[in-house]
Amino acid sequence: MIRNILVIILLAGCIFGDEYHSHHKPSTVKKSSNVINEQERTTKYWVNQAQDTLKKIVNKKLNTKNATNIIMFLGDGMSFSTVAATRMYLGGEEKKLSFEEFEYTGFSKTYCVDAQVADSACTSTAYLNGIKTNYEVIGLNAKATVADCDAQLDDKIWTESILRWAQKSHKATGIVTTTRITHASPAGGYAHVSERDWENDHEVSLSGCDPNKVDDIAEQLVYNVEGANFKVILGGGRANFINQTEKDEENNNGKRHDGKNLINVWKNERSKLGKAEYIWNKQQLDSLDYNNTEYLLGLFEHDHMRYNMDVKAQGLVLEPSLSDMTSAAIKMLQKEDGGYFLFIEGGMIDQAHHYNYAQISLDETKEFSDAIALARKMTNEEDTLIVVTADHSHVFTYSGYPERGSNIFGAVEVSDIDELPYATLSYANGPGFAHTFVDGKRVDPNTVGMDDPKFQYPATVPREKDTHGGEDVAVYASGPMAHLFSGNYEQNTIPLIMAYIMKIGPYAAEEKSASCAIMPVFMLLLSMLIINKLIK
């Protein structure tokens, strides 16, 4: 009863408090009709709605088990405003993305050791390796100066990723991304570089470093112990694996200058351990013989994978979706004994924001949400922890005051100063600036092609690409000990919490004698790999 009264008082406060906005009577150019459910005009509707939610909160049962499996989903650049705007893309303010149904949430603080606003390199070191480091540095602590050739040769400053912790506890591991597989976020799982751009040997040379001494990220994926153990690797970025004079399956040139074909090296090396399959298109993924594949490498583009909107619009049948890759990776890992750790990135949310492509970014966020829904369906909440977070925010804004149900991609009428409509979505900086102002005057966004999926939303400051944002990002968790993710913490706490829940890394249980028996074999195989690398 007391709860009922409190809810009603709170509601009343909101209703009167809202009067403040009434003189800004909003109206928009485009909106869907009849969006307001008439029930919403009653007190009962909202009280019931809130009570249902409260009932779920009160009845939550703590899952205090250890996690057998963990799937970490990373929405690159998936800020709070991105999530909120995507609800409109799904059909209304009241909609939820799949992971918004997760029972526990927290906040992650994303700054890096030398940067107020983070990039995807220092953040992947934080959320996968458990330490904050410098901007553009991956898998090394902040003693590493950016682009210092010698930094990564000093293994005292190397950090270990949670994927490695999982491997050491005999868990199967894998990585999936819609970007190049050598891009900063997945690289946090396996690479140690002082410059995230060193995705191939040529980039190392361009920084004035010796590529014979300084291994690039693609090489590290193929030769390093982390990468050597991955059972599944799916993403884009073939070009970093083959020589510039060589063409890939889709007739694109490679980027390497050292003559290596790292795809062939991967295949040869992994074949020594089990059946290894390299694939480059969706049809091969669809027809994969899972029972007969122990190691899977799928590189589906020469560069980043395509935006889902382009795939749909252009009928790009060779391109798997993030959900396709998620499903494949889970199937690959589920057949392993003893559990797994899987890292999955929706990387194009960030890429689209950088070009102020708000429509594409929200579509990629929806794709990300769909992949998480599928993963939750394919796994059991009792033994599989799913953690969803972002690495950093973007300078992406969801402005007032459109009417309820307004087209999220439309404009609000009108500014009380220059009397022109303005887009609901906009950016503090980025290429959209070009048609935001002309001759010092603001442009009506409706007159410059807002319906185009690749419309670059207005930006206040001109930049080739928009910047990331400095505020916190959300963490959503479901499954064993998901409640541990509640609160506000530094981003590098995330892998420690996951490790605690899986009892790996710093929280690994003592080795049992049964698993000790297989260790010598394991070590022998690893040494063979390392020796192989040394004599290459």
Ligand X SMILES: *[C@@H]1O[C@H](CO)[C@@H](O)[C@H](O)[C@H]1NC(C)=O
- What is the DSSP pairing of strand 384-390 with strand 473-478? antiparallel
Q: Tell me the per-residue interface mask from 335 to 354 with Zn ion, x by CB under 5 A, - otherwise.
A: ---------------x----
Out of ligand X, Zn ion, none, what residue 350 binds, judged by CB under 5 to 8 A for its kind, is Zn ion
Judge contact between 475 and 389, C-beta under 8 A. yes
Considering the rule CB under 5 A, would residue 195 count as an interface residue with Zn ion? Answer: no
Please tell me the distance from the alpha carbon of residue 129 to that of residue 123, in angstroms, as a whole number. Answer: 9
* Smallest separation, CB 296 to ligand X (Å): 15
Check if 120 is active-site.
yes
Nearer to Zn ion by C-beta: 301 or 350? 350
Counting residues that bind Zn ion (by CB under 5 A) gives: 1
Rg of the chain taking only CA atoms, in angstroms: 24
Please check if 192 is assigned to a binding site.
no
Which H or E element spans position 180?
A: strand 172-180
Q: How far apart are CA 241 and CA 221, in angstroms?
A: 10
Per the document, the length of the chain is 536
Residue 62 CB-half CA count within 13 A: 7
Extract the tokens encoding 292.
């007969």
Nearer to Zn ion, 350 or 363 (CB): 350
**367-381 burial: b if 16+ Cβ within 10 Å, else e:** bbbbbbbbbbeebee
Q: How far apart are CA 361 and CA 356, in angstroms?
A: 8
Contacts of 509-518 with C-beta under 8 Å, sequence gap 24+, read: 515/170, 518/170
The annotation status of 416 as a binding-site residue, yes or no, is no
Of the residues 81, 98, 120, 478, only one is catalytic, namely: 120
Q: How far is the CB of 430 from Zn ion (least distance, A)?
A: 11
- How far, in Å, are 15, 74, 202, 435 from residue 442 at the CA level? 35, 36, 43, 8
Cα separation of 507 and 427, whole Å? 42
DSSP string for residues in 74-100 = EETT--HHHHHHHHHHTTSTT---GGG
Residues that bind ligand X (CB under 6 A): 64-66, 243-245, 257, 259, 291, 503, 509
Nearer to ligand X, 219 or 226 (CB): 219
Could you tell which of ligand X, Zn ion, none binds residue 503, using a CB distance below 5 to 8 A set by kind? Answer: ligand X
Angstrom CA distances, 333 to 269, 283, 378, 380, 536, stand at: 20, 20, 12, 14, 30
| Partner that binds at residue 244, options ligand X, Zn ion, none, CB closer than 5 to 8 Å by kind | ligand X
Write out the H or E segment, with its range, that includes residue 345: strand 340-346
Residue 350 labeled ligand binder: yes
Nearer to ligand X, 109 or 257 (CB): 257
Which of ligand X, Zn ion, none binds 513 (CB below 5-8 Å, type-dependent)?
none
Report, in Å, the least distance between residue 366 CB and Zn ion: 19
Minimum CB separation of residue 56 from ligand X in Å reads 24
Return the one option of Zn ion, ligand X, none that residue 284 interacts with (CB less than 5 to 8 A, by type). none
Q: Is 76 annotated as a binding residue?
A: yes
Within 8 A by CB and 6+ apart from 421, the residues are 29, 411, 412, 413, 414, 415, 444, 445, 446
DSSP type of residue 191: -
Residue 65 interface partner, choices Zn ion, ligand X, none, CB cut-off 5-8 Å depending on type: ligand X
Instruction: Report, in Å, the least distance between residue 186 CB and Zn ion.
Output: 14
Nearer to ligand X, 68 or 129 (CB): 68
- Residue 490 known to bind ligand: no
| In the complex, minimum distance from the CB of residue 204 to Zn ion, in angstroms, rounded to a whole number | 22
Give 207 or 399: the residue with its C-beta nearer to ligand X: 207
Minimum CB separation of residue 396 from Zn ion in Å reads: 12
Q: Is residue 183 marked as binding?
A: yes
Q: Residue 30 binds which entry of ligand X, Zn ion, none, with Cβ cut-offs from 5 to 8 Å by kind?
A: none
Residue nearer to ligand X on the CB measure, 74 or 166: 166
Rounded Cα distance between 485 and 488, Å, is 9
> Do residues 185 and 138 make contact, with C-beta atoms less than 8 angstroms apart?
no
Residue 466 in contact with Zn ion, rule: CB under 5 A: no
Contacting positions for Zn ion (CB under 5 A): 350
From the annotation, which residues make up the binding site for Zn(2+)? Answer: 76, 350, 354, 391-392, 468
From the annotation, which residues make up the binding site for Mg(2+)? Answer: 76, 183, 185, 345
From the annotation, which residues make up the binding site? Answer: 76, 183, 185, 345, 350, 354, 391-392, 468
Point out the residues that are catalytic.
Answer: 120
